[in-house]
Copies of this chain bind each other. A is one copy, B any other.
């Protein structure tokens, strides 16, 4: 189960355009303070001209630089995002193009479990590295959430921001102990329709957009139902994941959670019994950046020196599906 891989470097990119809670209060006709109080988000970023691949490429360059790895040394590029730049081809190929690697042959593909995409990608790609298939893998999560927001659902639209985060993963050198200790994922599709965008694929094609299907192309979330199902499952899920890793809650230097919402983070912490200083909470100045939230919080924790080599970390999140996912690793 253990896989000797090391997170060599991380990077992030945020669009220049900052959208404040006050701006959304006004735009949505809400009482001053409503957005920040309900979402826990003071500012989030929205793209202006950036594409997902451009944001991902900048985050990737920063991650490679932090890792001390040249882009040409990468032997796989995985895009792990809940949104795609275009239907065909996969976003990873478009990131390869933005990175100036278009003649290198470095394999590119996408892994998608919505908000858990990064966790899923790290999990399976660490196995591919353990099997010797790859040596230095770039995982990029790049999300333009602002494109699909549902302005009729004020509870959800105030949560999200755009941005990208990237991690270069390598094999652990001899004599070092960085590794993935254990991982787990569970999907309960009884909650498959608790958060969804029904349109855009082969079921409700974009040609139907203007025929009264606008709502099918916006994010539709039932926060109450998600909360109820997640609450039933999360404690058992985390206990079993930590038991499998033989790591106690106290041994975790940091918990890197998906930044679902300010409230979700508070409830997760108290329900699971983590200390406030263990939780990496970047919600207030990033918002929920879909799959980029976890690697971005990881990047912030590393940049702020809240975690050091040898520390035990827990990556933990929930996603549309409805899924729970987590990885215990030694950084």
Interface residue ranges, A against B (CB under 8 Å): 1, 3, 51-52, 77, 82-94, 96-97, 101-114, 116-117, 120, 123-128, 130-133, 144, 147-148, 183, 185-190, 192, 195-207, 209-210, 214, 217, 219, 319-323, 325
Contacts and interface: CB of A to CB of B under 8 A. Distances in A.
A221 to B, nearest CB: 10
Contacts of A87: 83, 148, 196-201, 217
27 contacts: A1-B131, A86-B204, A87-B217, A88-B197, A89-B196, A90-B114, A90-B320, A90-B321, A91-B201, A92-B187, A93-B187, A94-B192, A101-B189, A102-B188, A104-B188, A107-B325, A109-B111, A109-B113, A109-B116, A109-B187, A109-B323, A110-B111, A111-B112, A123-B128, A127-B128, A199-B206, A207-B209
Nearest to A207: B209
A3 B198 CA distance: 38
Nearest to A84: B201
Contacts of A104: 188
Contacts of A202: 51-52, 83-85, 144, 147-148
Contacts of A83: 87, 201-202
Given A1-B132, A87-B201, 17 more contacts: A52-B202, A82-B88, A83-B87, A86-B197, A87-B196, A87-B199, A89-B321, A91-B201, A94-B189, A97-B189, A103-B190, A108-B113, A109-B185, A124-B124, A124-B125, A147-B202, A207-B209
